[in-house]
Structure 1
């Protein structure tokens, strides 16, 4: 059996940690506020992830190799751009995994793709985030720099060494503030539910994502819904990479065994 050469992204939005041209499905990962594509490198290397799964990660503007680019402070605009960037990868089924702000973006991109040639993702995994239909007023983006750094320390997703380095902080704070502004000002526009399987993952001590709020993701799909609770806080997945990869692999394996539907990659 022969395989076509792996597609190359037409812009800098997509990172490929381990190209797998023979992959059956591509898992697209969406980082949290202030996060970068490299956050998902450990997941891409997980031994419990199915070998026929290729991990792609989204790189938002304003960080790492894109640090000189204009920041985007709108979830809808960012989702539009990501949906465009994924077009070259639509030759294989896609699955989405998003953490925190990334969960909202993954959901919004899935909404955009379902009406086009790519279609819905094979599965949607949303982590550490309440359902988009539940709006909660957020003010983190309005905090002064010192309080914003304190929020980052409490959340636990940023290396403390970065927060103690004044030069790095000068680069981090504008990006984090921008991302919080985007997700805190986001408002869900009611649409019909997706049809793909939706799995919500959360830490049992996550102050940003109470279990009842995470359970509400159920209403956003007509397909199977599952809720997976891990021990830990907002960044529970830092210590549960294998468990998260196992959930992803089992869901995708189960989905691959089901008959294809008429809606593109939602199969």
Structure 2
């Protein structure tokens, strides 16, 4: 009898991969935001993670805290932590990547090889970001712009619906106040973007309080990660790919 599909992973991990990077979607979005990404890079599976209350899981309740999300995600992804792996998150989802890595440490499970934090300040320096002060009309404008970035024609009915999802994600971000952050035992890489006016890389130095941290500054704007730039893929898959 075939195994049921894992609701967290729309795509089954490949048997021959040397490692896995779990890609957590940006606030208000689902796994389709990684549609431009390859399935694999240098032998490493690049696996978008579908969150409760988003896209294929719209029938489920969204979470109210990143801590709640972390506990659910750890239970869902535990069968796939048998290879070297990492988490990637951008902006709000970077906090989810950090929190799920913290939960894995507390649960005594195999540690991530690394956590990749793109365009987000450290937990003790937030919550931060212009989304936090936006009304629903402004959030709708952001979603319309994001649809264009993804190469899709915005559908007003869908935009109106997804504003509710984005609002819930923004409220989750607002509730994440962490003056004394948990220190990870795995290393962290922060990723900034030269033309990012949303979260400047120089504001991300606080991640050193959350674990051993290295800093990368890549070329591009806030949303350039959605295009899967080769230099980002190389940074993320370093150490997880095929041996030279």
Place the TM-score, normalised by the shorter chain, in its bin: 0.7 to 0.9
Distance change in 2, residues 1:170/1:116 (3 Å):
same
Distance change in 2, residues 1:245/1:80 (3 Å):
same
Aligned to 1:23: 17
Q: Does 1:206 align with 2:201?
A: no
1:19-57 deviation digits (Å, cap 9, x = unpaired): 3212222211111101212222433346xx221x12222
Q: CA deviation at 1:149?
A: 2.1
Q: Does 1:50 align with 2:39?
A: no
Q: Answer with 81-90 or 206-215: which moved more.
A: 206-215
Q: CA deviation at 1:15?
A: 2.7
The root-mean-square deviation of aligned C-alpha atoms, in Å, is 2.8
Distance change in 2, residues 1:75/1:9 (3 Å):
farther
So what's the TM-score if we normalise by structure 1? 0.79
- Please point out which of 126, 130, 146 is paired with 1:135: 126
Unaligned runs of 5+ in 2: none
1:154-169 correspondence runs (5 A): 156-159=145-148, 164-169=154-159
1:210-261 deviation digits (Å, cap 9, x = unpaired): 2222222122113xx321112322212134521110111224359x89xxxx
- Number of equivalenced pairs: 242
* Preserved CA contact (<8 Å) 1:42 1:241: no
1:1-267 correspondence runs (5 A): 11-16=6-11, 19-45=13-39, 49-51=41-43, 53-136=44-127, 140=131, 143-152=134-143, 156-159=145-148, 164-188=154-178, 190-222=180-212, 225-239=213-227, 241-252=229-240
Q: Distance in 1 between matches of 2:28 and 2:140?
A: 12
Distance change in 2, residues 1:144/1:124 (3 Å):
closer
Q: CA deviation at 1:192?
A: 4.4
Unaligned runs of 5+ in 1: 1-6, 258-267
So what's the TM-score if we normalise by structure 2? 0.85
Give SS of 1:115's match.
helix
Give SS of 2:10's match.
strand
Aligned to 1:3: none
1:163-208 deviation digits (Å, cap 9, x = unpaired): 8422112221101111111112211262442232211112123233
Give SS of 2:186's match.
coil
Distance change in 2, residues 1:42/1:165 (3 Å):
closer
